[in-house]
Amino acid sequence: MRRLTFLAGAALLIAASPPGRSPEQVAEAALRAAPVWDGHNDVPEQIRERRKDMIADFDFRDTSASTDPANQRLAMHTDLTRLRRGHVGAQFWSVWVSALLPEPQAVQATLEQIDVIKRLIARYPADMQLATSSAEIARAMHSGKIASLIGMEGGHSIGASLGVLRQMYALGARYMTITHFKNTAWADSATDAPAHNGLTDFGRDVVREMQRLGMLVDLSHVSEKTMLDALDVAKAPVMFSHSGARAINGHSRNVPDSVLDRVKTNGGIVMVVTLPSYVSEEARNWSARLAAEKARLDAIHTGNPGAAMAGMVTWTMANPPPRATVAQVADHIDHIVKRIGVDHVGIGGDFDGMASVTQGMEDVSKYPALFAELARRGYSQADLEKIASGNMLRVLRGAEAYAAAHRGDPPIESATAF
């Protein structure tokens, strides 16, 4: 009798329990509780290149028709409507300028990029709010606005001057990527021939001064040796604003396991990118074959660029590029989580900074698809909330705590990098 009574009670409990949630429902609940904090978006670059920084008649509520055929530009990946659909609650806007610019011009261009993103934020006060601290981010997200932060992409943006670095921080920049695709005079890039064996002494001072200020040190785009040198110096958490795992895709822009281990010790974060050639090993290899074929055709058709171009069209039609997938983006997250834990991973899409996109993640509205994929793989709602924004919030708070503890330290005075 007691066994029958127990079984009957258990059946009642099961009947009263809510049914299991689908992966999409788990993802939706996670993103409502903790909206996405994306590490890298290049809208300011698009405004400069498409509109010469003029936004008086620019409608950021809908950019889906913002094509630029004359310059072979497709529609933008980002607007307010799609940010809302993608549950984006905080965004680092990249104030990238070309590393090919002479550094004095790069400094000016960076200031202009900061100006245009601030003007854009000010035009949409019901939807966007400039944020320069973790407290401001929390308030913006609580009020339903997109917390908008500024990140500088490339150390050329400070013209080898710690004074300029400090002024960029005063203007609101809250991270700086140490290099872009080229070396600076004080740091090696992942995609340039090594010149300094990592960081120079001045480069180490840049990292120290950034952390004294509370500016996040971003190690996307830098060489493996630069990553390790920066981690040797760093006393506060660092970030990778838009990178993948090199164990999944061997591109030099991705993070090797030896560095992932150091990121865990440091308390930092790797924000996983969606750019196809960093996501998919097949896409990376295709890009290498494309470059090799272009070099071959240019050599064969020296002085006849039309024939070389026609050859490239024929080759591309016969060898269409493979598509990166949402599952492959999730593979990078899986690897980082298995290697160093769920507390050290986030999302850094690189939208509006890519010529091609991952299938299923074509724009900023598609983040729920990635989180549903992760839920299908067994990630809990609590895990997804950490990946969406909780981990990045912890990292920024760590940088702020270090800066607060060193508020009395004098600014570093250093000779230039040259």
pLDDT tens readout for residues 275-307: 999 999 999 999 999 999 999 999 999 999 999
CA distances to 89, 140, 176 from 268, in Å: 21, 23, 15
Q: Which amino acid is at 269?
A: I
Q: Report the 3 state secondary structure along 29-76.
A: HHHHHCCEEEEEECHHHHHHHHHCCCCCCCCCCCCCCCCEHHHCECCC
Please give the average per-residue pLDDT across 386-406, as a whole number.
98
- pLDDT surpassing 80 at residue 7: no
- pLDDT surpassing 80 at residue 376: yes
Q: What percent of the chain has pLDDT over 90?
A: 91
Given this model, what pLDDT does residue 1 score? 36
C-alpha torsion 271→277→282→288, nearest 10: -140
- 175 in Cβ contact with 346 (< 8 Å): no
> Beta-carbon neighbour count of residue 3 at 10 Å?
7
- 376 in Cβ contact with 22 (< 8 Å): no
Please give the average per-residue pLDDT across 174-198, as a whole number.
98
Average pLDDT, the chain: 94
- pLDDT surpassing 90 at residue 418: no
> What is the spatial distance between Cα 138 and Cα 129, in angstroms, rounded to a whole number?
11
- pLDDT surpassing 60 at residue 16: no
> What is the spatial distance between Cα 416 and Cα 200, in angstroms, rounded to a whole number?
11
Residues 318-327 pLDDT 10s: 999 999 999 9
The SS3 call for residue 2 is helix
42 labelled catalytic: yes
Residues 85-136 pLDDT 10s: 999 999 999 999 999 999 999 999 999 999 999 999 999 999 999 999 999 9
Given this model, what pLDDT does residue 66 score? 78
335 labelled catalytic: no
Residues 229-240 pLDDT 10s: 999 999 999 999
Given this model, what pLDDT does residue 52 score? 96
Q: What percent of the chain has pLDDT over 70?
A: 94
Q: Which of 51, 268, 45 is nearest to 153 (CA)?
A: 45
Report residue 5's pLDDT band, with 50, 70 and 90 as the boundaries. very low
Given this model, what pLDDT does residue 169 score? 98
- pLDDT surpassing 90 at residue 6: no
Question: Phi-psi bin for 350: left (phi > 0), alpha (psi -120 to 50), beta?
Answer: left
CA distances to 43, 242, 298, 346, 364 from 350, in Å: 10, 6, 31, 13, 10
Report residue 18's pLDDT band, with 50, 70 and 90 as the boundaries. very low
Out of 242, 251, 332, 344, pick the active-site residue.
242
153 labelled catalytic: yes
Out of 28, 45, 79, 153, pick the active-site residue.
153
Q: How many CA atoms lie within 13 A of 243 on its CB side?
A: 32
Out of 38, 40, 205, 373, pick the active-site residue.
40
- 164 in Cβ contact with 107 (< 8 Å): yes
CA-based torsion, 207, 210, 216, 218: positive or negative = negative
Joined together, the tokens standing for residue 99 give 């590393």
CA distances to 86, 108, 126, 323 from 117, in Å: 20, 15, 16, 32
Is 160 buried (19+), middle (13-18) or exposed (0-12) by CB count in 10 A?
buried
Out of 87, 156, 180, 344, pick the active-site residue.
180
Out of 38, 42, 205, 383, pick the active-site residue.
42
Residues 38-67 pLDDT 10s: 999 999 999 999 999 999 999 999 998 877
180 labelled catalytic: yes
Given this model, what pLDDT does residue 8 score? 41
Q: Which amino acid is at 76?
A: M
Phi and psi for 354 in degrees, rounded to 5?
-125, 140
Out of 350, 352, 363, 373, pick the active-site residue.
350
Given this model, what pLDDT does residue 173 score? 98
Residues 328-366 pLDDT 10s: 999 999 999 999 999 999 999 999 999 999 999 999 999
Report residue 273's pLDDT band, with 50, 70 and 90 as the boundaries. very high
Given this model, what pLDDT does residue 416 score? 65
Please give the average per-residue pLDDT across 20-33, as a whole number.
97
> What is the spatial distance between Cα 257 and Cα 365, in angstroms, rounded to a whole number?
31
Given this model, what pLDDT does residue 2 score? 37
